[in-house]
């Protein structure tokens, strides 16, 4: 007689992933590879006639404990954790630079073309904040997995990181130049593309308090 | 069952030799070692990946992510030119050990 089990493989793999991460310092790329192995192993055991739950348990057991695996990964590439942190740092600084440059550029264009500055300046600020943050949320929610893999691949070597930096700075400078040449009136709080993230947030708050503080 | 130290030492030439036949991924490499050794060589499966990463770090193998027909992500490894050279050197060393032992045990040594 066949017994019906409610084994949730996706949930089980999720909790296995969390457990492995808690056991040792395993990086996302390493974990992805181990997960791919686990799934192949489960498939192989299923084909031998094991039930999904049994296959899962046996595959986990065969794969091993997180701590010794993490220790071996550390031996294979001693600086991998710092390399990973450096990648995050680089991504963060690049992100801030892209943010400030594009923010300044788009706010200048909006102010010039629709004359949103002055009286309606706060509207431009809100629209920009909402669209940029909305865009970021959309990217993280829907596109992050594929994108992240590609970004991770790009940032894998120090030369590529340096090249990526150069490219972002060049694009930023071109945008700043276009802003200063073709957009006569700078946006509130903008400094021709090279403003800090703090300045854009400050100008946002300023325009809000100016608008609503007086009311 | 083969001892832990020998299993660890032989993992390198085994992986390089399997990849000499063409691109492959971790799970399939393990299965192949398992079959060829008549289940005498048993690896803790997760331990294969640090070895693969070490070989990649040393430039002996190259890796790429790809998606299978069923949509699953897999990391495939292949031998680099440097890895090919290293494999030739490893072959010489292992055969030298093998032949020495064969002579001592009065067995017929394997020729290269």
Pairwise CB contact (< 8 Å): A68 & B44: yes
User: What was the pLDDT predicted at A159?
Assistant: 66
Burial (0-12, 13-18, 19+ Cβ within 10 Å), A189:
buried
Stretches in chain A below the pLDDT threshold 70: 1-5, 110-125, 136-137, 139-161, 164, 179, 181-215
Are the CB atoms for B7 and B46 separated by under 8 Å?
no
Instruction: Give how far the C-alpha of residue B57 lies from the chain's centroid of Cα atoms, to the nearest Å.
Output: 16
User: What was the pLDDT predicted at A95?
Assistant: 75
Are the CB atoms for B16 and B44 separated by under 8 Å?
no
Mutate which: A72, A79, A151, A154, vs B, most B CBs within 10 A: A72
The angle at the Cα of A94, spanning A130 to A140, to the nearest 5 degrees, equals 45
CA distances, B44 to each of A60, B12, B70 (Å): 11, 15, 27
User: What was the pLDDT predicted at A110?
Assistant: 66
* Cβ pairs A/B, distance under 8 A: 65
Are the CB atoms for A66 and A25 separated by under 8 Å?
no
- Predicted confidence (pLDDT) per residue in B13-70, tens digit: 999 999 999 999 999 999 999 999 888 888 889 999 999 999 998 999 999 988 888 8
Q: In terms of DSSP H, where are the helices of chain B?
A: 4-20, 26-36, 48-57, 81-104
pTM over 0.80: no
Give residue B111's pLDDT band: very low, low, confident or very high (50, 70, 90).
low
Question: Is B31 an 8 Å CB contact of chain A?
Answer: yes
Least CB–CB distance from A34: residue in B25, B46, B54: B46
Least CB–CB distance from B47: residue in A44, A69, A77: A69
Question: Is A156 an 8 Å CB contact of chain B?
Answer: no
CA–CA gap between residue A174 and residue A177 (Å, rounded): 5
């Amino acid at each position: 007689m066949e017994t019906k089990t409610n084994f949730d493989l996706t949930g089980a793999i999720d909790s296995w992933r969390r457990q492995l991460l808690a056991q040792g310092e395993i990086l996302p790329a390493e974990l992805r590879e181990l997960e791919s192995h686990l799934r192949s192993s489960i498939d192989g055991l299923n084909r031998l006639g094991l039930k999904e739950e049994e296959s899962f348990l046996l595959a986990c057991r065969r794969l091993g404990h997180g701590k010794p695996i993490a220790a071996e990964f550390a031996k294979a590439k001693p600086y991998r954790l710092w390399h990973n942190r450096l990648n995050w740092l680089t991504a963060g600084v690049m992100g801030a630079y892209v943010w400030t440059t594009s923010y300044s550029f788009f706010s200048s264009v909006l102010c010039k073309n629709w004359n949103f500055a002055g009286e309606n300046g706060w509207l431009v600020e809100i629209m920009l904040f909402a669209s940029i943050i909305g865009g970021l949320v959309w990217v993280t929610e829907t596109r992050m997995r594929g994108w992240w893999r590609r970004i991770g691949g790009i940032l894998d070597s120090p030369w590529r990181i340096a090249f990526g930096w150069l490219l972002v700075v060049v694009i930023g400078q071109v945008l700043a130049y276009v802003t200063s040449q073709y957009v006569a009136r700078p946006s509130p709080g903008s400094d021709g593309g090279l403003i800090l993230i703090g300045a854009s947030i400050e100008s946002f708050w300023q325009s809000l308090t100016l608008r609503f503080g007086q009311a | 069952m083969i001892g832990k130290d020998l299993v660890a030492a032989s993992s390198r030439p085994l992986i390089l030799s399997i990849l000499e036949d063409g691109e492959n991924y971790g799970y399939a490499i393990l299965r192949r070692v398992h079959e060829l050794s008549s289940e005498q060589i048993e690896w803790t499966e997760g331990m294969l990946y640090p070895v693969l990463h070490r070989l990649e770090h040393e430039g002996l193998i190259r890796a790429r992510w790809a998606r299978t027909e069923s949509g699953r992500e897999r990391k495939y490894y292949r031998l680099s030119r440097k890895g090919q050279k290293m494999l030739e050197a490893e072959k010489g060393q292992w055969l030298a050990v093998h032949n020495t032992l064969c002579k001592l045990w009065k067995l017929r040594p394997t020729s290269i």
